[in-house]
Amino acid sequence: MYKQRIVFVHGAGSFGAAAWPKQHGMALNYDALFLRRHGYEPAAEPLETDFAADAAIVLHALADDGRGEAGGHVVAHSQGAISAMMAAVERPELVHSLTLVEPACLSLTADQPATAAHRALMQPLFEVRHHLSDEDFHREFVRRVSAAHTPAQATLGAPSPEDQLEARRLRLQAPPWEAPLQIVPGVPTLVLTGGWEPLYEEIAGYLRETGALHRVAPGGHRPQDSPEGNRAIRAFIADVGRHQHAEAS
């Protein structure tokens, strides 16, 4: 039985299958691939962000499933949404649908208030990141991100010795407002947010105005981990798949 492909693209922190604990079961009904973005090889030193390399990884995963079929659904979280959108702009015929979870697509909303405020807060830190240690950058990043929220809402904690690679990867991530993004024409898109941060709601509103479906689920920056968010992802992909199958029949 033929299974449609789904490509999962992680954000910062966990990568590969570990970034999608509630979506593992989708492999029963889909050909599910859990990608590692550029610089996230577990046994290698982290690398600087390369948006084009990340998009190429997504496109390679969609290009051929080994059975002569090409294309699939793309589900991406946070900074992973950047490469997902870039891949869809470059090869829209390969992307059956886009699911963007808390997308860090700040270059789309650069002139809007929440994005401008976030950039004003974070840009001075990114400008000196190569002069800071991994631990100092991580600590200051968390402090600034948490400034407008309670500690319970912060998504990152102080690094422990075993988290050194994660801290280094965080420091090497390029500012998301530098990503060369464009709106994706004609690709069914779901934006899933956690309803906790005006920045992501602003980005979701922008994408909704361009035709995306927007859903809110609990879970802070990881709404895909909540039952409601997981159901929204599964239902959207299933609906798109049924519609595309009906059109092809």
Tell me the residue length of the chain: 249
Find all residues with CB under 8 Å of 60, minimum gap 6, and list them: none
Give the model confidence (pLDDT) of 25-55 as tens digits.
999 999 999 999 999 988 778 888 999 999 9
Distances (CA, A) of 110 to 74, 106, 198, 199: 24, 6, 14, 11
Cβ of 201: how many Cβ atoms within 10 Å?
A: 19
CA 123 to centroid of chain Cα atoms: 20
145-192 confidence digits (pLDDT tens) = 886 564 434 444 444 544 788 888 899 999 999 999 988 888 999 999
Q: What is the pTM of this model?
A: 0.91
Q: pLDDT per residue over 98-133, tens digit each? A: 999 999 999 999 999 999 999 999 999 999 999 999
Contacts of 24 (CB under 8 A, 6+ apart): 17, 32
Per-residue pLDDT, 68: 59
* Two tokens, residue 142: 């968390």
CATH fold group of domain 5-109+179-248: Rossmann fold (3.40.50)
Q: Where are the domains of the chain?
A: 5-109+179-248, 113-172
Q: Spell 222-249 as b/e; 16+ CB within 10 A means b.
A: bbbbbeebbebbbebbeebbeebeeeee
Residue 76 pairs in a beta bridge with 9, 100
Q: Tell which residue, 114, 117, 175, has the closest CA to residue 141.
A: 175
Residue with tokens 């991100």: 145
Portion of the chain with pLDDT greater than 70, in percent: 90
Token match 């309670």: residue? Answer: 150
Phi-psi region of 115 (alpha: psi -120 to 50; beta: other; left: phi over 0): alpha
Distances (CA, A) of 78 to 31, 70, 171, 203: 22, 25, 16, 11
Write out the two tokens for 176. 């998301």
pLDDT of residue 43: 75
- CA 217, 211, 36, 124: dihedral to nearest 10 degrees? -80
Joined tokens for residue 151: 């500690």
